[in-house]
Amino acid sequence: MSKLQSRRQFISGCARYSLGLTIAGVIGFSLTNASSQQWLWQIDPFKCTNCGRCATHCVLNPSAVKCVHAYALCGYCDLCGGYLKPGHIARNTAAENQLCPTAAIERKLIEEPYYEYHINEELCIGCAKCVEGCSSFGNGSLHLQIRQNICVNCNECAIARVCPSDAIKRIPADEPYLIKGGFEHGQTL
């Protein structure tokens, strides 16, 4: 019996050490491509085609993707393609004139004829309707961003999987946002 036991122990020990070596090998090999960075998901607003899948495919409901406003790029127009529905009846804050399905865009008169548009992120569902309107008729100051304080940072972003324009990328955490800049920063950022 003891002979049998020791033989079993020997085989098991050999297997244990070879498994240990394998794991060590995996560690060593992957350390060459590992980093101390934390990784996050980010939308590139210049690639985004406002397809609307951010609203429907995020694991969270409402989505962690929100419309954000690059104020420095905004024309502060009264007639805002992101705020007003095409074919709106009057240019005011009445619900039937608003493009946003959840009335998440708040319009405030700064001075004639300039209006500030502010996104209420509590209400925003990330449907990109306003983004589409703003990029088609306006300066493109409204754009989508993954809100990092809401995002649960899934191992594989469920929106990235279905994004038709490949706009969602995994990026190191030190620059969590790629926000559109103002005119003075030029066209890129």
Partner 1 sequence: MVRLYKKHIPLKNHNNIFLGLIFLLMTVPTQIAHSQQQRFPKPEFQTEYQIPETERPNPRAPFMEYLDLFLLLAVLSLTTWLVLKKRSRKWILWVSVFSLLYFGFYRNGCICSVGSLQNLTLSLFNEGYSVSFTVLAFFVVPLLFALAVGRVFCASACPLGIIQDLVIVKPIKLSPWLQKSLGLFPFIYLGLAVLYAATGTDFIICRFDPFVGIFRMGAEFHMIVLGISFLLIGMFVARPYCRFVCPYGALLKICSLNSKYHLSITPKDCINCKLCKDSCPFDAIDFPTDEKENRASRKDFWKFVFYAALIPVLMFVGGWAVSGSYKLLSSAHPDVYLANLLVSQPELMQNTENLDIETFMSSGKTLEILVEEAKIIQEKFRFGGWFLGAFIGLVIALHLLNQVIFRKRSIYEANRGDCFSCGRCMDYCPVGKPEHPFFKDKPEMVVKS
Identify the residue whose tokens are 């060590």: 24
Output DSSP code: residue 98: B
Among 6, 37, 92, 120, contact with partner 1 (rule: CB under 8 A): 37
Q: Does 31 bind partner 1 (CB under 8 A)?
A: yes
Dist. CA 76–CA 72, nearest whole Å: 10
Q: How far is the CB of 186 from partner 1 (least distance, A)?
A: 9
Query: Which whole-number Å values give the CA distances from 40 to 147, 168, 176, in the listed order?
Result: 10, 10, 7
Scan residues 125-164 and list those touching partner 1 (CB under 8 A): 132, 135-141, 147-156, 161, 164
Of 101 and 161, CB closest to partner 1? 161
Among 2, 3, 95, 111, contact with partner 1 (rule: CB under 8 A): 111
Among 6, 7, 15, 101, contact with partner 1 (rule: CB under 8 A): 15
Q: Does 28 bind partner 1 (CB under 8 A)?
A: no
Among 6, 10, 20, 89, contact with partner 1 (rule: CB under 8 A): 20
Report which of 39, 4, 56 is spatially closest to residue 161, judged by C-alpha positions: 56
Dist. CA 142–CA 144, nearest whole Å: 7
